[in-house]
Amino acid sequence: MFWEPSNTSGKVDSAFLFIVSICIALLVMVTFAMILFLFKYNKKKHPRGEEVKESTALEIVWTVVPTILVLLMFYYGWVDFRYIRNPPANAMKVDVIAREWSWHFKYDNGKEAGVLRVPINKPVELIMTSEDVIHSLFIPAFRIKEDCVPGMKTHLWFNADEAGTYDIFCTEYCGVGHSHMLSKVIVMPVSDFESWYQAKEAAPPVGGGQQLLETKGCLGCHTTDGSPKVGPTFKGLYGSKVTVLTNGKERIILADDAYIKQSILHPDADIVKGFPAVMPILPVTDKELQEIIAYMKTLK
């Protein structure tokens, strides 16, 4: 009935539809009885109250029928819940690391990415954790959602049966950048996925910096197109004059190599004026810093 691009979508939808249909049927019946009684037992027709006799049969019916309905709702929910909670043993495993404010995906062969690429018609298990606060990974199209908790591993699984690109949201309020904590699931034909999965990461130096900004999660808070996000944009940053707060004192510095290095390695030293002091310290090598700086120089 609904658009169901994964095995889990249909399961959740049918339980949902079952419950909603019962609710609608009950709403219609109760409303109908209410209106009917309004006329039937109107005071004008019955100026004097009459004694109402109890009806055992009626009482049994209105106890047993709702009990069965509620148990059926529980049963449908429970069967599908168990199915969704238990990934099959042959599922492809992907590690998910949530952090303020980006998603990071790691594959068994060491491949890493900021978007989740998966093959079509293959069960995928997400093994999730967080580096800081509680986040929650939600893929609306697949109707699955689970918290990512620091110091803990949580799981989700799905088997996508329609190629395409689907949204990933964070659905646990996790700070200023929460609404920017977005990513995608890209469901690809098996051969396309394999060629991506097996491809060696031999990016050119410029693309390298761009790739790093994505995989390190920088683009969770910064943009490269000039629009502001949680942090200042990288567009036109290199070589510009930046107003920062150093120990609460305002000063203007030139965004050169030293400044960019400093702001990545010690993000709390100079806070760009007008932005929250929330940037985490990321592990970056010297070579990676060089690539990031080289890429920033191209963002005019």
Contact residues: ligand CUA, CB under 6 A:
98, 101, 135, 170, 172-174, 178, 181
Which C-beta is closer to ligand CUA: that of 12 or that of 230?
A: 230
Q: How far apart are CA 30 and CA 38, in angstroms?
A: 12
Residue 148 beta carbon to ligand CUA: minimum distance, rounded to whole angstroms: 8
Beta partners for 10? none
Which C-beta is closer to ligand CUA: that of 176 or that of 253?
A: 176
Q: How far apart are CA 136 and CA 96, in angstroms?
A: 11
Which C-beta is closer to ligand CUA: that of 221 or that of 292?
A: 221
Which C-beta is closer to ligand CUA: that of 95 or that of 257?
A: 95
Q: How far apart are CA 184 and CA 240, in angstroms?
A: 33
**Cβ distance 154 to 137 under 8 Å?**
no
Whether the ω angle into residue 101 lies within 30 degrees of 0, i.e. cis, is yes
Residue 33 beta carbon to ligand CUA: minimum distance, rounded to whole angstroms: 45
Strands across the sheet containing 270-272? 249-254, 241-246, 270-272
Share of the chain residues as helix, strand and coil, in percent rounded to the nearest 5: 40, 25, 35
The identity of residue 278, as a single letter, is V
Place of tokens 């904590």: 181
Residue 172 beta carbon to ligand CUA: minimum distance, rounded to whole angstroms: 5
Which C-beta is closer to ligand CUA: that of 178 or that of 297?
A: 178
Beta partners for 49? none
Coil, strand or helix at 189: coil
Counting Cβ atoms within 10 Å, is residue 185 exposed (0-12), middle (13-18) or buried (19+)? buried
Which C-beta is closer to ligand CUA: that of 172 or that of 214?
A: 172
Picking from 230, 227, 218, the residue whose alpha carbon sits closest to that of residue 271 is 230
Residue 92 beta carbon to ligand CUA: minimum distance, rounded to whole angstroms: 24
Q: How far apart are CA 167 and CA 230, in angstroms?
A: 20
Residue 170 beta carbon to ligand CUA: minimum distance, rounded to whole angstroms: 3
Residue 261 beta carbon to ligand CUA: minimum distance, rounded to whole angstroms: 27
**Cβ distance 233 to 222 under 8 Å?**
yes
Which C-beta is closer to ligand CUA: that of 141 or that of 181?
A: 181
Residue 174 beta carbon to ligand CUA: minimum distance, rounded to whole angstroms: 3
